[in-house]
Chain A
Amino acid sequence: MSEDWDVVVAGAGIVGAACANECVSRGLRTAIVEAGEIGGGATAAGMGHIVVMDDSPAQLALTSYSQGLWRELASRLPASVEYESCGTLWVASDDEEMKEVHRKRALYATVGIASEVLDSRALSEAEPHLSPALAGALLVPSDGVLYPPCAAEFLVREAVRLGAKLYSQFKVISAGNGLVRLNDGTELRAPRIINALGSEASTLVPDLPIRKRKGHLVITDRYPGFVHHQLVELGYLKSAHSIATDSVAFNVQPRKTGQVLLGSSRQFGAEDSTVDYSMVAAMIDRARAFMPEIGTLSAIRIWTGFRAATPDKLPQIGPWQEDPTLFLAAGHEGLGITTSLGTAKVLVDYLMDGETGIPIDPYLPARFVRSEAHA
């Protein structure tokens, strides 16, 4: 069987789901192919934060743009998505980190993200279970959390409602030169193919610089009111983004159920999904340093997942240089839920007319070719 489409999207994680939804909303005849469950990979394993981050100017541009898109969409999200605009508190341990709080506030203001500096006392009032020894925090009220697999499901359902076709439980065998082959022999022809396969993207595009970065998460029983905001240590950038070594950072979220979701760990080279209890213990120790009483809560589940990491911690969005029909939307590492909507908008704007809401250049896959040529 052979079918013709304007666009075929490979992968119905949050990024593929957002891309399919954006394509069909813009009038493109769209097919989306998913081998497993919708949002069943890294999407289901992740925390589900909608968070503005400033590891680089390009990351700040994409996360702030995307956060705004989520806020626009929020009123249309069904209850199952559990979207909550709880805000993020970037927690500072000492005076040095308080300088970072002020720097961050000023930087966020330049992209229109309002935030507020809390001193130690105001932080204790906002989050009574945090250690009173902490120096303060930056509150970003417009950040939020959601339940990612249901968000992906919603985006796919919307796309299908608008006319997209979902190939569920079909595996993409090959994709390129305007042709996508599925495992049952079906051929989907399209002048544009979007590879949104996350950490599996390189199975269709050899030499793609995307590596798996393992993470662990712990969720507790229901303790309503234990924590009110997403809490992230400011040292996150120092500890969690070190490329070379295994690391943990304090990151806690309140869920609508009253459960507390606790992260995070980062490991390269760990390809096996088994829970590594030494990493979990390190995560919990780190959390107890910030929130001593978290150790008294009862955890009900621990799991792992794999982020799709690129060398410069930015996603790959745009044409693949070796095939004019092939486009990438992959490599979102720990920010795929946040940046899915911005990724879809930027990519589809680029496909339609070349004019994008934010510059696409920092995310173009060709950047790695250029950097290799210079090396």
Chain B
Amino acid sequence: MPDPSISLLVNGASVSVTPGTTVAAAILMSGPRARISVTGEPRAPLCGMGICFECRATINGFAHRRSCQVLCEPGMDVRTA
């Protein structure tokens, strides 16, 4: 079987995941938090179904993507701040 993992960048660090992994999961695999709120509080994915907006990240240059609703793709550039 070929190696099923795909790799992407989260805040500049390489992360390997299996296909079907959400970007929110890749962010959690890379460190303890998703983003910092406008009032300076750390945030992390809460609902996992696109409702709470706590998992927002900049994906390939597009800000405020809900990372729990996006699957990882090879070479993706994900930024949480």
Interface residues of A, Cβ cutoff 8 Å to B: 221-223, 296-298, 300
Contact A296 B38 (CB under 8 A): no
Query: In the assembled complex, which residues on chain B have CB atoms less than 8 Å from the CB atom of A298?
Result: 63-65
Contact B38 A222 (CB under 8 A): yes
Query: In the assembled complex, which residues on chain A have CB atoms less than 8 Å from the CB atom of B38?
Result: 222
By beta carbon, the residue of chain B nearest A220 is: B64
Query: In the assembled complex, which residues on chain B have CB atoms less than 8 Å from the CB atom of A300?
Result: 53
Consensus secondary structure, chain A interface = mixed
Consensus secondary structure, chain B interface = strand
13 example contacts (A-B, Cβ-Cβ < 8 A) are as follows: A221-B56, A221-B63, A221-B64, A222-B38, A222-B64, A223-B63, A223-B64, A296-B62, A297-B64, A298-B63, A298-B64, A298-B65, A300-B53
Nearest 8 interchain pairs by C-beta: A221-B64, A298-B64, A296-B62, A223-B63, A222-B38, A221-B63, A222-B64, A298-B65
CB distance from B34 to the nearest CB of A (A): 15
CA distance A247 to B56 in the complex (A): 34
Query: In the assembled complex, which residues on chain B have CB atoms less than 8 Å from the CB atom of A223?
Result: 63-64
Query: In the assembled complex, which residues on chain A have CB atoms less than 8 Å from the CB atom of B63?
Result: 221, 223, 298
CB distance from B55 to the nearest CB of A (A): 13
**Binary flags per residue of B39-81, CB closer than 8 Å to A gives 1, else 0:** 0000000000000010010000011110000000000000000
Most buried by B among A223, A297, A298, A300: A298
By beta carbon, the residue of chain B nearest A257 is: B38
CA distance A222 to B65 in the complex (A): 12
Query: In the assembled complex, which residues on chain A have CB atoms less than 8 Å from the CB atom of B65?
Result: 298
CB distance from A254 to the nearest CB of B (A): 15
CB distance from A372 to the nearest CB of B (A): 53
CA distance A222 to B58 in the complex (A): 12
A-B contact sample (10 more), CB < 8 A, given A221-B56, A223-B63, A298-B65: A221-B63, A221-B64, A222-B38, A222-B64, A223-B64, A296-B62, A297-B64, A298-B63, A298-B64, A300-B53
CB distance from B30 to the nearest CB of A (A): 23
By beta carbon, the residue of chain A nearest B66 is: A298
Most buried by A among B38, B53, B63, B65: B63
Query: In the assembled complex, which residues on chain B have CB atoms less than 8 Å from the CB atom of A221?
Result: 56, 63-64
Query: In the assembled complex, which residues on chain A have CB atoms less than 8 Å from the CB atom of B53?
Result: 300
CA distance A182 to B53 in the complex (A): 44
CA distance A300 to B56 in the complex (A): 12
